Every structure is written in structure tokens, then in C-alpha cells.
Amino acid sequence: MTDPAFFNKVESLTLSEIAEIVKAPLPEGADGSVAIENVAPIDAASNGEITFLDNPKYVSELEKTSAGAVLCSKRYAEKVPTGSIALVVGNPYEAFSLVSSAFYPEAMVPLAYFERKGGISQGAHIHPDAKVESGVCIEPGASIGAGAEVGAGSTIGVNAVIGQGVRVGRNCHVGANAVLQHSLVGDDVIIHPGVCVGQDGFGFAMGPQGHRKVPQIGRVIIQDRVEIGANSTIDRGANRDTIIGEGTKIDNQVQIGHNVEVGRHCVLVSQVGVSGSSKLDDFVAIGGQSGVAGHIRIGMGAQIAAVSVVKDDVPVGARYGGVPAKPVKTWFREMAALKRLAEKGS
């Protein structure tokens, strides 16, 4: 069976065009008219393809690559083999993303699931009181509730649910089987399959006679250019709004509790859990499988290592890790001390 191509690709780009895209000078004597036909991994790239080196771990692969061109930093340019062209850039991975998006522009947002031409499927369920702007794609089985609004250029995937009164902005993508309730979504937002937004927060008044449910009357506000990975969940607020700030990127299987405020351009990696009423300032990054306790604040630009538990406030720009999380220098000293004790005991 021939391998299918899921994304259309431009036929080729010249070396000069690529250099212009990444703002890199062409090496002296390089032929800018040379055609580059695709992007490829460093160990598999052929003469007509471009690759990149960002991680020093792969320097040995760089020295053996057959790529026609390599995006790399200045320190590795001399290691690019004869026959390959080194394009020196400040951030090779970012440059590679620019080149990849030039070759595969339609891969920048998820494709429609059912058919490429889009449109509103006869199998979609749209309430008469819903408002759907022009150029919207609504796929089979999707439901748009009473009073809901969907902005121009957006796609609502197969079996997705846009609940009553929910507003989805323009040029958004809501993946298959996603469910949005009690939510306001900005423009250029990507919500991957299986995401649930706006369900009840986990609020109960606990007592000896049982646990009384506390009404969750807030909303979820998702600002522009947010991306939410598959099967993540974002609870609506209990008595205020849960907020996801502009440009934030959320990986798969992340849980965000009620009343949480996530700032702009944060990164939450897979299986992170953020408990209710905590606040993440702008540009916070949290590694995979870490947990954040409730009612704490993580300062702007702080970084939390993977598999950590944050139970106290974290200062601006700090780097924390461990269980419980602490400044990484302290954490590393503690681990080294425990290792010495263990070795001494044996």
C-alpha cells in the first residue's frame, strides 16, 4: 500500500527563499537558486532536503547528514559536511518551524475531519437561536446550542458540542468530541479532540452528614491564540471566572480546576494538574506530571520541573523542582546528599 500524504506540500523552495524566511545570510559562494524540496530529520535527510541541529546530543548525526541544507547556530556551522549548506540562525528550532510551515501551511491548524471543502453538514444539529457566521465548517454530529455563537472561519469537529450561550471566536478549531459549556472563546483558538471546557468545578461543602454540592456559577474565559491538547479539562469558576490567558499552550491530559487564572503565554505540559483558585502569572512553564496545590501563586516567568509538587507560592523568575517543590539548587543538593548517605550505608 502506498503511504498516504495527509498534508499538501508546496513543490519546492529555493535556498534564497528559505534564507529570507529565516533571516539568515547565504554562505559565500552558495547558489541561492538550488531547490529544496522538503524538510527532514537530521539522520534521514537527503540532498534535496533541509534539516536542523538544536540539541548538541545530535552533533554526531550532523557530521554524517546528507541534507542539502542545515539550520544551525554559529558554533556548529563548521561541522556541517561538505556538500551541505549551513544557514546560521540564532534559534535553529524556531527557524525550522518557519521553514516547515512554509512547506506545509495547512498543517498549522488541524484539518477538518470529514471533508476538506468544509461547509455545514446536513448531519449537524444547530439550534434555531444559534448564530453562525459565514465560512464556518460544522461537521456531522456536531451540536450548536441555543444562543451559542460561532465566528467566521471556525471549524466545529465531528460530534463536538457547543453548549447553550457559548461563544466561539473567529478562525477557531474545536476538535471531534470536544464539549464546551459556560465558556467564552477568543479568536484563533485550537481545541483538540476530547477536550472538556466549562463543566462543574469540584466544589463540595464537606460535613458529617455528607458532602453538599456548591453551585459553580462562574465561566471559562479562553483568550486569543490559546491551544488546548487532547482530553484536557478546564472547570468553570465557582464564584468567579476560570481564565486562560492569550497565547498559552496546554498539552494533552491537563486538568485545570475552578477559579484558576493562567496568564499569557504559559506552557503546561502533559498531565499537569492545577488546583482551584491558583494563579499562574505570564510566561510560567510547568513540566509534565507536576501538580499545583490550590490558592497559591506562581510568579511571572517561573519554571517548574517535571514530576514536581508545588504547595507554596513561587517567586518571579524562579526555577523550582521536587516533592515538595523548592529552588532547584536546593533540590539538587538534597538529592546529592541523599545519594551520599545511601552509598555510605551500603
Catalytic positions are 258
Three-state DSSP class for residue 322: coil
Q: In this structure, what C-alpha cell is assigned to residue 98? A: 518557519
CB atoms within 10 A of CB 254: 23
Collapse the DSSP code of 344 into the 3-class scheme (helix H, G, I; strand E, B; otherwise coil) and give the result.
Answer: helix
Asked if residue 246 lies in contact with residue 186, where contact means CB atoms within 8 angstroms, the answer is yes
Helix extents (H) in the chain: 15-22, 59-62, 92-103, 328-345
Let me know: does 189 contact 170? Beta carbons within 8 Å: no
- For residues 245 and 263, what is the distance between their CA atoms, to the nearest angstrom? 5
Helix (H) / strand (E) element for 168: namely: strand 167-168
Q: In terms of residues, how long is the chain?
A: 346
d(CA 252, CA 196): 12
Task: Give the pairing type, strands 183-185 and 38-39.
Answer: unpaired
Q: Which of 45, 44, 27 is nearest to 36 (CA)?
A: 45
CA distances from 22 to 104, 154, 168, 342 (A): 16, 29, 33, 51
